[in-house]
Amino acid sequence: MLDPVLLFFLLGLAAGLLRSELRLPAAVYDLVSMLLLLSIGLKGGIELAKQPFMDLAWQAMAVLAMGALLPFLAFPVLRFVGRLPRADAASVAAHYGSVSVGTYAVAVAYFAGKQIEFESHMPFLLAVLEIPAIIAGILLARGLSRKIHLRTMAHEVFLGKGIVLLIGGLLIGWAAGPEGLVSVKPLFFDLFKGILALFLLEMGLITAAQFGSLRQHGLFLVLFGIGMPLASSVVGIVLGMALGLSPGGAAMLGILAASASYIAVPAAMRISVPEANPTLSLGVSLGVTFPFNVLVGIPLYHALATKAFTLAGG
């Protein structure tokens, strides 16, 4: 059965599609996503302190490489099969190289429900994965020929709202450790799933609004929005195995690889690749891949990882 938090997503989706009067104020969306990002960061930061530095560095570099590579897989498909203009292909590709914090949060809830273990410094890899795809997307759109505003790019990559809260949370969690955070546990940890439920309610409403824009861009995008995460999840799982992660950890890396950004990358692309059409990339990332991943993908990628470990082990 579906995790109950997903029922909130379906409620939002239904309310949106039925054009109900339900509309959460933007400030509530901001509060809820801020709490989610901080919670995830803090939880990951606590674990960082326990990891040997070299392991972390090694994993970070491997994952950076994956985030930079995935857009280069997606781009030719979008450009030559989907016949998208160059800027649009680059922008969509960047979305799929990056990650969705919401998808990760749903996966955490799913894994907790099924008592699946995974490396608990995963939020660190999540933060790392936010970054390279943005740079890859800009390069794909502009090539190396044209002057790229390095300052603007750096600003977009490192100083976006999401990345600051995630990395800030990681640092605070790392510095304060588990005892230090006991006093903020009721807000950031105990309320986590309730906050996630509100977030998914809102995401349902937002997703419903994307369907309209999807209709214009047709079947190709829908297929891409399902095919691409399937392919990426395999890349993520294989990399997880190569890095020596546990089965749960490899599955989680598959989920991260499969997820597509809808916060950091859209904001960065809007400034750095303005000629890309944002309704197109948000349409496929939010309208297709996000619901596919949270409703179907997460258990699927976990099953894939389990099978892969059985095969590799046998």
Partner 1 sequence: MNSSTRKLLTIITESALERVLVGDIEKLGAHGYTITDARGKGHRGPRTAVWDESSNIRIDVVCDDVTAMAIAEHLQVHYYPNYGMILFMSDVAVLRPEKF
Residues that bind a second copy (CB under 8 A): 1, 4-5, 7-8, 11, 14-15, 18-28, 30-31, 34, 109, 112-113, 155, 159-161, 164-165, 168, 171-172, 175-176, 180-181, 183-188, 190-191, 193-195, 197-198, 267
Dihedral of CA 211/215/221/227: which sign? Answer: positive
| Closest CB 192 distance from partner 1, rounded Å | 20
Identity of the residue, 145 or 183, whose beta carbon is nearer to a second copy in the bound complex? 183
Pick what 212 binds: a second copy, partner 1, none; C-beta below 5 to 8 Å, kind-dependent: partner 1
Using alpha carbons, select from 58, 102, 81, 288 the residue that is nearest to residue 203.
102
Among 146, 157, 175, 168, CA closest to 64: 157
Kindly tell me the sign of the dihedral angle through the C-alpha atoms of 179, 181, 184, 189. Answer: negative
Query: Which among a second copy, partner 1, none contacts residue 109 (Cβ within 5 to 8 A by kind)?
Result: a second copy
Nearer to partner 1 (CB atom), residue 1 or residue 151: 151
- Residue 203: closest CA among 101, 84, 60: 101
Strand (E) or helix (H) holding 282: helix 278-284
Q: Which is nearer to partner 1, 3 or 156 (CB)?
A: 156
Instruction: Say which DSSP state 276 is in.
Output: S
Residue 35 or 304 with smaller CB distance to a second copy? 35
Q: Which partner in partner 1, a second copy, none is near 191 (CB below 5 to 8 A by kind)? A: a second copy
Q: How many CB atoms lie within 10 A of CB 116?
A: 18
Do residues 44 and 121 make contact, with C-beta atoms less than 8 angstroms apart? Answer: yes
Binding partner selected for residue 190 from a second copy, partner 1, none, CB under the kind-specific 5 to 8 Å limit: a second copy
